[in-house]
Amino acid sequence: MSLPGSLPTSRVPEPSTAPSIRWGILAPGWIARQFASALAGMTTQRIVAVGSRSLERAQQFAAETGVENAYGSYAELVGDPRVQAVYVASPHSEHAALALLAIEAGKHVLVEKPFARNADEARRVVQAARSRGVTLMEAMWTRFLPRTDIVRQLLEDGVLGELQTTIGDHGQPIWHIERMQRLDLAGGALLDLGVYPVSYTHFVLGRPGSIVATGELTDTGVDRQVAAVLTDFPDHPHARALVSTNMGAKTPTTFAIAGSAARVELDAEFYAPGRVRLVTPDGSAVVSPPDVVAGHYGLAYEAAHFASLVADGYPESPTLPLDDTVAILETMDEIRAQVGVRYPGE
């Protein structure tokens, strides 16, 4: 195979070009701070309010980020008429309930990954948004990054040939964090970390028809580490996907897509901004230019995409449709079932 002289140029617009909408943040934790920083540094979006179960925490977040309004309850935030869209940044266990609260109030909702604890919860949230006529999207930031669009174009153009194998992993030494150990907060490696390689596998290959998973649980019953083989993809009958995740060690956090004609390599952290490498079987390679954005500033792309959907009146994203979000959770439900993780109330 003869490699192209360069890789495709990303078609993702600069975040600063998106229409500005007024945001409210539900739950001012670590990811909410990264989100606020990305919006302030890369976009014209406005965060006008933050809500928490603790007024003190909300006020502290507001003071640190320059947000005007702080509320000591989630209900107060979704009741603020100045807020057009809500970003749900709570622990996983609360995603569905808070999304439903915001939808009932008529707000557009961006829900941090994983969208919900399981597919049943996700379906209820999706149905509520469709009935209410508001925009809803999962905040899987990887799908909206420039380098993901480069990969998307390579797949659309058939540059890799017939897809054979994908290999993705995500491990971080975070087992000591309390929420990661708690079943009631939907802790464990899969929902927090493994969602990235699972979601990227769906992006590349679609929904698997067969899943074989194995894993290890902690004393509290959450998954410490998981590995799975996904097969029987309707559009890629010969493909096999390998995904692994753990919360006890830092792994390479890379993703590779191997086809009959070439492969794509995404270096660490594959789910964040970075380069794309296209390699032929003989080892020849072409690499994309350095990304203009680093780290969690990449969250600006999902926020800008969502703001454009809201401004243009679209109920969901063509880049990450709601049915795809539900399908990803169905895959993770099956993996959890095989490993033996069951959350309260399931």
Q: Report the pLDDT value the prediction gives residue 3, as an integer from 0 to 100.
A: 62
For residues 100 and 74, the answer to whether their CB atoms sit within 8 Å is no
Q: Using an 8 Å Cβ cutoff, are 98 and 75 in contact?
A: no
For 127-150, the three-class secondary structure string (H helix, E strand, C coil) is HHHHHHCCCEEEECHHHHCHHHHH
One-letter amino acid of 320: L
Q: For position 160, what pLDDT does the model report? A: 96
- Angle at which helix 30-42 crosses helix 299-312, to 10 degrees, equals 70
Q: Which CATH class is domain 146-290+316-339?
A: alpha beta
Q: What are the residue ranges of helices labelled H in the chain?
A: 30-42, 55-65, 74-78, 95-104, 119-132, 146-156, 178-181, 189, 195-205, 299-312, 322-339
How far is 194 from 212, CA to CA, in rounded Å? 15
**Quick check: helix, strand or coil at residue 257?**
strand
Given this structure, which CATH class describes domain 15-140? Answer: alpha beta
> Do 329 and 122 touch, CB atoms closer than 8 A?
yes
Residue 283 neighbours by CB distance under 10 Å: 6
* Nearest of 104, 77, 63, 74 to residue 22 by alpha carbon: 77
Residue 276's Cα: distance from chain center in Å? Answer: 19
Q: What is the pLDDT of residue 58?
A: 98
Residues facing residue 258 across a β-bridge: 165, 263
Q: Where are the domains of the chain?
A: 15-140, 146-290+316-339
The answer to whether 163 and 259 have CB atoms below 8 angstroms apart is yes
Edge to edge, the sheet with strand 108-112 lists 69-71, 46-51, 22-26, 85-88, 108-112, 136-139
Angle ∠(157,159,160) on CA atoms, nearest 5: 130
3-state secondary structure at position 226: strand
* Span between the terminal Cα atoms of the chain, in Å: 50
Are 307 and 85 in contact, with CB atoms under 8 Å apart? yes
Which portions of the chain are predicted below pLDDT 70? 1-5
Contact 67, 49 (CB under 8 A): yes
Residue 131 · residue 230 · CB < 8 Å: no
